[in-house]
Amino acid sequence: MARDAADYVDCFTFLADAGCRFGQALKVRWTDIDWELQPGVVGVKFWRKGDQKGVRIRTIPCSARVVEILKRRRSLKGPGPFDGLRRGRGNQLWNLAKARTELKGEAERVPHCLRHTCATRLLARTGDLKLIQEWLGHTKIETTASIYAKVLVETKVRALRELEDYQT
């Protein structure tokens, strides 16, 4: 049975905000959700051996829009928020959407890019490479640095402008 595209939009939003891999999102179970990570903060734990590329267990705080998705999807009664969704169908819908946009010629634009979207946004806002390493679950900081070095340069240039503005 084909799922509604809105289910996959929820999953893609989760990927963009949680920074996890597609396969990890599909395997999240309700027992992985910590509804009180801290007061007013919901978290999701990524821990399953074999699902983690670097085998790093991590708990990620959820954005407000992810919390809304989780609350809405909890009523679906499956073992997890994305139960029943399939990677193949997600890729099919992704490609259909991509074909209707200016990204149609961008073969490398795949759902995994949403993981990079999350990391790039976090790095641009915080400048904290160690935070990004831990958020993504990279074993080595060098992996994180090599992927996001361009963002670091842009952040430093922006910081220079702020410094110059401060000096005038």
Cα 26 to its chain centre, rounded Å, is 12
138 is catalytic: yes
Instruction: Determine how β-strand 41-46 pairs with β-strand 33-38.
Output: antiparallel
**Between 5-18 and 64-74, two packed helices, what is the crossing angle to 10 degrees?**
140
Q: Which of 8, 27, 73, 115 is catalytic?
A: 115
Can you tell me the distance from the alpha carbon of 61 to that of 36, in angstroms, rounded to the nearest whole number? 10
Catalytic residue among 49, 77, 100, 125: 49
- 49 carries an active-site annotation: yes
Catalytic option among 8, 27, 73, 148: 148
43, 59 contact by CB (below 8 A): yes
Is 112 a residue of the active site? yes
Residues 75, 81, 86, CA angle at the centre, nearest 5°? 125
Please give the Cα distance from 16 to 6 (Å, whole number).
15
Catalytic residue among 112, 140, 158, 161: 112
Pick the catalytic residue from 8, 21, 27, 73: 21
Looking up tokens 């976090």, which residue turns up? 122
The one-letter amino acid at 21? R
Q: Is the dihedral of CA 56, 57, 62, 66 positive or negative?
A: positive
- The active-site residue out of 8, 27, 73, 138 is 138
What is the set of active-site residues? 21, 49, 112, 115, 138, 148
